[in-house]
A and B are shown apart, each in its own frame.
Chain A
């Protein structure tokens, strides 16, 4: 009877001895920017190459770009793995460390850079002339040595850059007499009231599970009440930045008024993104806050019946701002075919067919120089509307990253539960901002 116990204990002892070094001390990854030092080639060569990709499922854009790339460069094959964005976010550090893909859809990058998991793209930026593109396109993917984003070496690249605003159902809008997009926030409030009075669901927004979709209208309201600059500083983790500002409080209070007035569907706290999309496409709601990555999809599924406008400003003629971010892709610091992956990223931004796909399939603006080829878009489509809106944002210098991207955990663990509480009337706007700020400070510290 005693012997097995002894044996187990002996085994356990051996194992503990083997595992006694501090965790993480064995990973010999060398952090710090060293990517530009090595010589790089600006092609995929002529021999057979298999690029390993880790993409986001549910979005056809990267897959179609990969197929077109193989068509033009037959020596390059793809080995693609797909997952939901939330899964990619959770997996990113370990996948980049243990199973380095050549090209990976990335969440917020600053923590990955701190751990030395991403390849610096400065060398490629120089070689391909990305540094001559409008600086704002790449700003969000630059990370300084202290982990702050906004400037420093480039650690990722976009397949295109997307932008958010308000989609509306044209038929339902006509029904309540909305013939053109509201020009001020007050006008938007009036339209919402009219829709509510007519028995429509004014806004249907997902807010369930671990993804609080009320962050979309909230950040749009923040942009209406204040400047995008301080919000970006907060997202980029600039020291001393805070989300708890007077204008953001006004925005959150405005959102609370919308909730209390019953402008949102009553079950938003149990709705996921897919449910929101199917209800909007099914004509069950007038408005939906979402991004232009759905433009191509909406043009197909509710052709001619979907419209788009940017969140209206507080005062008529005021500057517009929107959440706008590149569709971020990065190269693992240990990638086997980093040069070829970078060549692909440059091709996506500069090749005519690739830019066509970026607009028609991705629904968003391609990356690249401002004078680059733009595919023609049919008048009256949502895609045309979102591309025009993108030009307005560029003109007003109103692009912001998403407040959910400030740290790796802030979305699931702070914004989402807080916004769900706000939707249920269990949280005040003031306490919401204070609580998110407190979580942010503890997360940025480590």
Chain B
């Protein structure tokens, strides 16, 4: 807090003579934001109170679209699927990222660390659509995943991972985990690099092993970075669309239908723009409800 007010004060003093000048510089960005972010947001809220097919005349239906969301089991199921995806999009990448980052830090000087970092970050550079297509090949009946399983004598387990009711959602989750592990690793690695080495040194002098070191120093120091990772990945899970669309399009039989995809189908295939908007509004609220506590928790603990 102290630094924030300190830097703001000189700014305020110089701003007095021409406050409007500052706004002039901010105007292009502000206008863009208003037109492309705020306006659609508000229009979505407005549409959610109408029964509208996107072209013809619309009728005001009040909260009917919202009540339908909670009375139709099919639409509720999509929200449950999104929460199941949090396990894969968030829990796995963050824990795995912590483990990998700690390992990489341990071997920081070797060339292997650089290679590992590059390989892990690669999914961030590849377009998600390409990654999705690649994974559908890997997970098909004749794909690499099944061939590896057969090679080690697990023929009984092989299946069409994305076409099977029991495995489709976890399979989509694995793709998401693969995409997000690299991002989490890199963020956490950056966080680790700013931890004071003296802390580790004194811990070691006190006789702490690497595991004790990790839980006593690394983990608490990374509170903020973990907060960022969890926030980003939880949003990715709740708002997932592209990976699911490429891999399964919601199938088989709605078993991988997530809110993002359901909104798309409602708006463009069923042409119920009002219903789609209502689900979109609920999704935004849901993301806020999940993410705000995480933000609070990770920030308060540190300051």
Binding site for B on A (CB under 8 A): 7-8, 11-12, 15-16, 19-20, 22-25, 27, 29, 31, 89-91, 93-94, 97, 111, 114-117, 207-210, 266-271, 408-409, 412-413, 416-418, 420-421, 423-424, 426-427, 443, 446
Contacts and interface: CB of A to CB of B under 8 A. Distances in A.
A268 B270 CA distance: 25
10 contacts: A15-B39, A90-B269, A93-B271, A111-B53, A111-B271, A117-B55, A266-B141, A267-B159, A270-B141, A413-B270
Interface of B: 23, 30, 34, 38-39, 42-43, 46-47, 50-58, 60, 136, 139-141, 159-165, 248-254, 265, 268-273
Nearest to A91: B268
B163 A24 contact: no
B163 A115 contact: no
Given A11-B30, A270-B141, A416-B251, A19 B46 contact: yes
B56 A114 contact: yes
Contacts of B140: 267, 270
A268 B160 CA distance: 9
Scoring B56, B60, B140 by chain A CB atoms within 10 A of each residue's CB, the highest score goes to: B56
A89 to B, nearest CB: 7
Contacts of A24: 52-58
Given A24-B57, A269-B160, A271-B163, 14 more contacts: A7-B23, A12-B34, A16-B42, A19-B46, A29-B55, A90-B269, A208-B162, A209-B249, A210-B250, A269-B164, A270-B136, A408-B271, A409-B269, A443-B270
A27 B252 contact: no
Contact of A22 (B38, B53, B58, B141): B58
B163 A267 contact: yes
Nearest to A411: B269
Nearest to B246: A209
B46 A417 contact: no
B55 A27 contact: yes
A168 B27 CA distance: 66
A269 B265 contact: no
Given A412-B265, A413-B270, A266 B160 contact: yes
A204 to B, nearest CB: 12
Contacts of B60: 22
Contacts of B248: 208-209, 270
Given A208-B252, A424-B164, A23 B141 contact: no
Contacts of B55: 24, 27, 29, 93-94, 97, 115, 117
Nearest to B45: A16
Contact of B253 (A11, A268, A409, A424): A424
B265 A413 contact: yes
A114 B56 CA distance: 9
A207 B248 CA distance: 11
Given A24-B54, A24-B55, A97-B55, A16 B46 contact: yes
A408 B273 contact: no
Scoring B47, B160, B248, B251 by chain A CB atoms within 10 A of each residue's CB, the highest score goes to: B251
A23 B52 contact: yes
A418 B55 CA distance: 29
Nearest to A425: B165
A23 B160 contact: no
A114 B38 CA distance: 32
A413 B163 contact: no
B271 A424 contact: no
B160 A267 contact: yes
Contacts of B254: 417
Contact of A15 (B42, B47, B265): B42
Nearest to B262: A413
B251 A23 contact: no
B243 to A, nearest CB: 14
Given A93-B55, A270-B140, A418 B253 contact: yes
Scoring B53, B55, B254 by chain A CB atoms within 10 A of each residue's CB, the highest score goes to: B55
Nearest to A25: B57
Given A24-B55, A117-B55, A12 B269 contact: no
Q: Which 5 pairs between the two chains have the least Cβ-Cβ distance?
A: A270-B163, A267-B160, A269-B163, A420-B252, A90-B268
Contacts of B139: 270
Nearest to B264: A90
Nearest to A22: B58
A374 to B, nearest CB: 38
B162 A270 contact: yes
Nearest to A116: B56
Scoring A22, A89, A418 by chain B CB atoms within 10 A of each residue's CB, the highest score goes to: A22
B163 A268 contact: yes
Contacts of A94: 54-55
A22 to B, nearest CB: 5
A417 B253 CA distance: 4
A63 B268 CA distance: 27
Contacts of A23: 43, 46-47, 50, 52, 58, 273
A27 B165 contact: no
A416 B254 CA distance: 9
B270 A208 contact: no
